[in-house]
Structure 1
Amino acid sequence: MILLSVRKDIDARCAGSSSVHTIAAYLLFQYLMGANLNSSRIRMTTPVLTSVVPGAGPLHSSAYFVRLYLPAKFQASPPVPLPELNLHPDRWSSHCIAVRSFSGYARDKNVVEEAEKLAMSLSRSPWANSTNYPSKNAYSIAQYSSPFRIISRVNEVWFDVDCKSTGVETY
């Protein structure tokens, strides 16, 4: 049984940080609370997306990039973060992703296990040869639930895939 779905993600503007995850979350929260050049308070959106970038860290270790999608109101003209936050405006280009959902908190151990399960499902699917799609990320973790929510948490692991190579129509 294949436990994955493939969907086309939206084209969206994001704010992001390559700092350690807990620091990145704090910096992004500051940005949402008005630490930007026009002091705009920005409504929190989901998911919080953490992408694993292989070999980009010290000694070729993995690095992480944490993104927050910006609400529709700020898509055309995102508030510029204060320079001291060292946040990067980002655009998440529309592309196809293979997705596996999981519950609980997204921790190092279970995230790797879920990524391995998605890789196994992909290897047995029509998308088996489409994961070489040009991507700087090994995979991404999408967290939809508030950190204060203890049960019924919703998370996903995402791999970039090439829908065109499988004949899947995208709209």
Structure 2
Amino acid sequence: MAAFNNLFNLSFLLSLLSSSNLSLLPGNHGEKVGVFPPTCNRIECPSYDVIHTGNGFEIRRYNSTMWISTSPIDDISLVGATRTAFLRLFGYIQGNNSNKQKIEMTAPVITEVKPSDGPFCASSFVVSFYVPKENQPNPPSAKGLHVQKWGPTYVAVRQFGGFVNDDQVGEEAASLYASVAGTIWSDAIDKSYSGENSTEYIVAQYNSPFEFRNRVNEIWLTFDMEDGFAI
């Protein structure tokens, strides 16, 4: 078990490089939005446009993104599922793929969450690695992984600091949902999350587990807007 944890920590450290020394987020809560994760000054992140900044949330538009994703992992812990899945993704970018090709590190690592019906039941998690532009549009394949291609996608975002834990993420997601309730975005978000098998929310992590300052994490609610929508 110690060897397993050491391998994970080393892998994650290499994949998400250290950030700057700027003080960005107050504590572990989402009081501030709009902070560009400093990790993205060092490694590639998907680009986006900020459409709207609200009270405790931000609306972004990602024009198109591509992700390498795991199959769904059933676990009672987001932290545990993300650790398990990331080892698979780290092997992929280190050359365990159809092209035997090493792929540059990126951020964030995102975890799509479909919560369970009860406190002691396993939830479903899909963990994804953003594909660098130089490896698009045809990244190498690998057993147990698949490509997700997102078209233009709107995302409601809440940022929070500290280390992600299982108790915290549900509270942050609920706070984000409460922040957008009653705004011009709420109907589109509700429509996107009305399906029985839809992802409830996404957790985006930008930092190495060895960084204890300036950590930037995000909760995402992805949704679609009708053509011609005016802000």
TM-score range, shorter chain: 0.7 to 0.9
1:8 aligns with 2:69: no
**Which residue, 164, 176, 179 being the options, matches 1:118?**
176
Q: Report the Cα distance in structure 2 between the residues aligned to 1:71 and 1:12, rounded to whole angstroms.
A: 9
Residue matched to 1:127: 185
Residue matched to 1:137: 199
Q: SS at 1:24's partner residue?
A: helix
Q: SS at 1:129's partner residue?
A: helix
After superposition, the CA RMSD in angstroms is 2.4
1:109 aligns with 2:171: no
**Which residue, 63, 66, 70 being the options, matches 2:124?**
63
Give 2:167's aligned amino acid: K
Gaps (5+ residues) in structure 1?
Answer: none
1:156 aligns with 2:199: no
Cα pair distance change 1:54/1:112, threshold 3 Å? closer
On the 8 A contact 1:100/1:114 being kept in 2, the answer is yes
Gaps (5+ residues) in structure 2?
Answer: 1-53, 74-80
Q: SS at 1:29's partner residue?
A: helix
On the 8 A contact 1:126/1:166 being kept in 2, the answer is no
On the 8 A contact 1:130/1:165 being kept in 2, the answer is no
Q: Report the Cα distance in structure 2 between the residues aligned to 1:165 and 1:80, rounded to whole angstroms.
A: 33
Cα pair distance change 1:168/1:53, threshold 3 Å? farther
TM (normalized to structure 1)?
0.85
Cα pair distance change 1:168/1:152, threshold 3 Å? farther
Q: Report the Cα distance in structure 2 between the residues aligned to 1:141 and 1:168, rounded to whole angstroms.
A: 28
Q: Report the Cα distance in structure 1 between the residues aligned to 2:227 and 2:122, rounded to whole angstroms.
A: 30
On the 8 A contact 1:99/1:159 being kept in 2, the answer is yes
The runs of at least 4 aligned residues of structure 1 exceeding 4 Å deviation read: none
Q: How many residues in Structure 1 have an aligned counterpart in Structure 2?
A: 164
Shift of 1:164: 3.2
**% identical equivalent positions:** 32
Q: Report the Cα distance in structure 1 between the residues aligned to 2:163 and 2:230, rounded to whole angstroms.
A: 32
Q: Report the Cα distance in structure 1 between the residues aligned to 2:98 and 2:200, rounded to whole angstroms.
A: 33
